[in-house]
Structure formats: C-alpha cells, structure tokens
Amino acid sequence: MYNLGLVTIVIIAANVMMSFKGFSDRGFFEKYKFNVGSIKAGEQIRMLSSGFLHADVTHLLFNMFTLYFFAGSVVSVLGSFKFIVIYFASLIFGNLLSLYFHKDEPWYSAIGASGAVTGILYAAILLQPDMSLYMFFIPIPIPGYVFGIGYLLYSIYGMKNKVGNIGHDAHFGGAIGGYVVTLIMMPSLFQTDLGYIALLAIPIVILFVLHKTGKLN
C-alpha cells in the first residue's frame, strides 16, 4: 500500500510556501539562495534554505511531483524519521558537492530541492530495485536501477560539459547522499541486493576517477 506519510506533505508544503515567498520577495530569495561567496563568509543557513527555494512554478512542480511519486516507497519501508534523515542528508550533501566544485567561484548561486529529491529517488531505487519507471517520451517501462545509473552518468556529462542552467553536481551529490545513508540505515541490502548496489556505485566511481585525473573540467 502506498504510504506518502504526513512528513512528506509537510515538506512539500514548506517548499511551496518558501518558494512562493521567494517568487514575490526578491530580497528574501537573495538572502536564502545557495551562494558560494556568502556561504564561505559564514552564512551556512543557505546550505539548507536554498533547498526550499525554486526558480519558478514549473521548477517547483517538477521537484514536488517527483518527490510525491517516490517518497511513499521510502516511508513505507524505513518510516518517517529515516525518510527525513535521508531527505535532509541528501540536500546537504548535494550542496556540499556544489560548494566543493565551485569553491573558487564566489558568484556561483543555485536553488531548488533537486538534491534532496534525487536522494529520495535513489533511496527508493535501492529499496525497490525491481521497480519500473514510466517516462512520458519512452513507451516501455525502465527498470529503476537502469534509470539510476543513466541519470548519474548524464549528471557527470552535464557537470563536465556544463549542460544547461542546471546544478548537475547537486543532483549527483544528492544521489550519493541518498545512496550512502540508505545503505547505512538498511545494511541488510548488502545481503539481498549486492548486485544492484554495485551497479549503482559505477557512476560514483567514474566521477571519483574523472576528478582525480583532472578530466572532469
């Protein structure tokens, strides 16, 4: 049975309220968005608050619909508290990776719940690796683990080639956060789904190797 959980509704409501506040109040938006220079100057609250701001209604709806579709899988298996831990750990980890890759760009800014939402998506894939995803432009179901691997590989491509006005590094960091925290919370997956765990680790290893060899930039 699909269990969205009250906590998910609260998180979606918080995203909606803060995002609409940001839409109408530019000062509020600028004060709480992710900005490398401001964070390095001591405004760490932006590491958290930026995850509840969005560029526009389309950006907000995409993230919240994605969260809606995958949150229930995580809440049903791990419960609301662990869901919250994964959500916020993924949000912070995504922003930490962005901060790391853009540490010498004080002007770099970003907003959105994508890192947190991607972490929940990857947690759901780990917990239910045989799930199938339906994309509106692909007429056949896609296995969850195939989507996960493909998405992270695309994120690496986006980071390397600076594709679009998208925080690919935050997406990737959020996915890693969801992946790691879920495995810490449910180590039994190493006995039941080791093959899927190994497959989902491939893009993470590729990112590490590319970074170490200087081929990511």
Written as one string, the DSSP assignment of the chain is -----HHHHHHHHHHHHHHHHHHH-HHHHHHHSEEHHHHHTT-TTHHHHGGG--SSHHHHHHHHHHHHHHHHHHHHHH-HHHHHHHHHHHHHHHHHHHHHHTTT-TT-EE--SHHHHHHHHHHHHHHSTT-EE--TT-SS-EEHHHHHHHHHHHHHHHHHHT-TT--HHHHHHHHHHHHHHHHHH-TTHHHH-HHHHHHHHHHHHHHHHHHHTT---
State the pLDDT at residue 1: 39
The yes-or-no verdict on residue 22 having pLDDT over 50 is yes
Higher pLDDT, 185 or 204: 185
Q: CB–CB of 118/174 below 8 Å?
A: yes
- pLDDT of 211 over the 90 cut: no
The pTM of this model reads 0.89
Fold of 6-212: Rhomboid-like fold (1.20.1540)
Note whether 91 and 181 are within 8 A (CB).
Answer: no
Residue 62's pLDDT band, with cuts at 50, 70 and 90, is confident
Minimum mean pLDDT among 98-102, 114-118, 161-165, 174-178: which range? 161-165
- Range with the lowest mean pLDDT among 23-37, 43-57, 200-214? 200-214
